[in-house]
Amino acid sequence: MRSTGFRRTFAALSVCSLALAVSACGSSDESSGGKTRITVNCEPPKSAKVDRSFFEQDIASFEKQNPDIDVVAHDAFPCQDPKTFDAKLAGGQMEDVFYTYFTDAKHVVDINQAADLTSYVKEVKSYDTIQQQLRDIYTVDGKIYGIPRTGYSMGLIYNKKLFAQAGLDPEKPPATWEELRADARKIAALGNGTVGYADYSAQNQGGWHFTAELYSQGGDVVSADGKKATIDTPEGHAVLQNLHDMRWTDNSMGSKQLLVINDVQQLMGSGKLGMYLSAPDNIPILVKEKGGNYKDLALAPMPGGKGTLIGGDGYMFNKKATPAQIRAGLKWLDHMFLTPGKGFLGDYARAKKQDAPVGLPEPRLFAGAADAKDQEVKKANANVPVENYQAFLDGNQSLEMKIEPPNAQQIYSVLDGAVSAVLTKKDADIDQLLKQASGKIDSILARS
């Protein structure tokens, strides 16, 4: 699952029709003039004017530096629609260089739709600067099939203004689920429709957050070999019991449930919500689209202290791409996304001039000296209160970073049922919910 913002948003996706597959989506090694032609996706839509202009500027500068390469970008939003992704792959409609979530990597390889990049990545000057754990996500059976573009980790967004009004210290966010529960009660006690803590419980998003909360308590959704569910455990029970008790005993989660990300963002942006789980990229959405204020919004690490869910995205290559197209595509990725302090995501000076937020703690792609350089440029151009995110940066250093489970969307759909049940039924049987969900997940894993 993803958070939201251009770099992480769900909306309508335009898919090339079969009739246009060759002319619009298919591979063609050379276009007129003898150039190597590559098609790429995830260009921001025209409605995202600033991001669109940045993307176009960066392609233009790349083509100027590489006059033998012609880049044809397709705008698609979201960059990947789970409902059409497999059909587009199977139908031969996928671009030469195509966007994927981290959780897609093994699946795309398993269905034989990805080009092997192993012998080419040595030509990508920035590849070795990417965090190893992110590179590993696109490495399957020792072979490299993709290039990471962004990485994020889950944390706790909280409203400092409501913390102060509730008599809590805005500089000391909850570090445990017990502390979060106590803080949520005090915030909800402010009344006037104020909600202490909100969580998702529909459209697979409840399952996504269950996974994040389970990781935070040291649990896992599936076994290390990926063959069995591991949710019917004390840690899994604790996740559902905590949600049930906050909803029904404390009344700190509000009466309206079956919420999805937009519902929760609306609550937080309106100043009526104390806390919810999210990645840092939600913060500018809360300000620019939901009415929030940067100075009131802070970020803390996941409560529990044992782990956090990480996610992100990257690009893979069509299995029909030629060697020339693969080399051209890797050059393009290097230019667009993999140079610290530059490119579509890293040109912080350009972003600041356009009043785009600079200074959020993530996405964070690089390691070592490359990361230091990227953070230095970001800090020099920061236009948001970076001190509000220091607790998140400090706390994440001690957490285990864990990727989403295999077959994530199918598993999240199952877990949605358990989460929604405890939030809508006071007499929900947690043991039975976990047992049933565990059996369904075992069946999913057995089919994969």
* pLDDT per position as a tens digit, 93-138: 999 999 999 988 999 999 999 999 999 999 898 999 999 999 999 9
Which one is predicted more confidently, 29 or 70?
A: 70
Is 364 within a domain? Answer: yes
Q: 311 pLDDT exceeds 50?
A: yes
| CATH (domain of 147) | 3.40.190.10
DSSP 138: T
CA angle 96, 335, 153 (to 5 degrees): 85
One domain, residues 160 and 257: yes
Is 390 within a domain? Answer: no
Is 12 within a domain? Answer: yes
One domain, residues 319 and 300: no
One domain, residues 299 and 218: yes
Is 385 within a domain? Answer: no
One domain, residues 138 and 219: no
Residue 347's pLDDT band, with cuts at 50, 70 and 90, is very high
Percent of the chain topping pLDDT 90: 83
One domain, residues 54 and 110: yes
Closest CA to 4 of 303, 211, 287, 408: 287
Is 194 within a domain? Answer: yes
| Residue 326 belongs to domain spanning | 6-152+312-380
One domain, residues 70 and 15: yes
Residue 198 falls in which region: left (phi positive, over 0), alpha (psi -120 to 50) or beta = beta
> Within 13 Å of residue 148, how many CA atoms lie on the same side as its CB?
27
Closest CA to 160 of 360, 387, 356, 359: 387
For residues 312 and 365, what is the distance between their CA atoms, to the nearest angstrom?
A: 9
Q: So what's the pLDDT on residue 103?
A: 86
Q: 395 pLDDT exceeds 70?
A: yes
Query: Which of 380, 414, 439 represents a domain boundary (last residue)?
Result: 380
Q: So what's the pLDDT on residue 445?
A: 96
Q: 17 pLDDT exceeds 70?
A: no
Is 395 within a domain? Answer: no
The b/e string for 276-290 (b: 16+ C-beta within 10 A; e otherwise) is bbbbbbbbbbbbeeb
Q: Are 201 and 258 in contact (CB under 8 A)?
A: yes
Residue 7's pLDDT band, with cuts at 50, 70 and 90, is very low
For residues 180 and 247, what is the distance between their CA atoms, to the nearest angstrom?
A: 13
For residues 448 and 24, what is the distance between their CA atoms, to the nearest angstrom?
A: 32
Residue type, 144: I
For residues 442 and 411, what is the distance between their CA atoms, to the nearest angstrom?
A: 10
Query: Which of 380, 410, 434 represents a domain boundary (last residue)?
Result: 380
Q: So what's the pLDDT on residue 352?
A: 96
Residue 30's pLDDT band, with cuts at 50, 70 and 90, is low
Is 418 within a domain? Answer: yes
Domain count, the chain: 2
One domain, residues 275 and 250: yes
State both tokens at 126: 């920035």
For residues 85 and 262, what is the distance between their CA atoms, to the nearest angstrom?
A: 23
One domain, residues 300 and 317: no
Percent of the chain topping pLDDT 70: 93
Cα torsion 336, 344, 209, 77: sign: negative
For residues 72 and 75, what is the distance between their CA atoms, to the nearest angstrom?
A: 10
Q: Terminal CA-to-CA distance of the chain, rounded, Å?
A: 19
Residue type, 407: N
Is 391 within a domain? Answer: no
Which pLDDT tens digit goes with each residue over 140-153?
999 999 999 999 99
Specify the pTM: 0.85
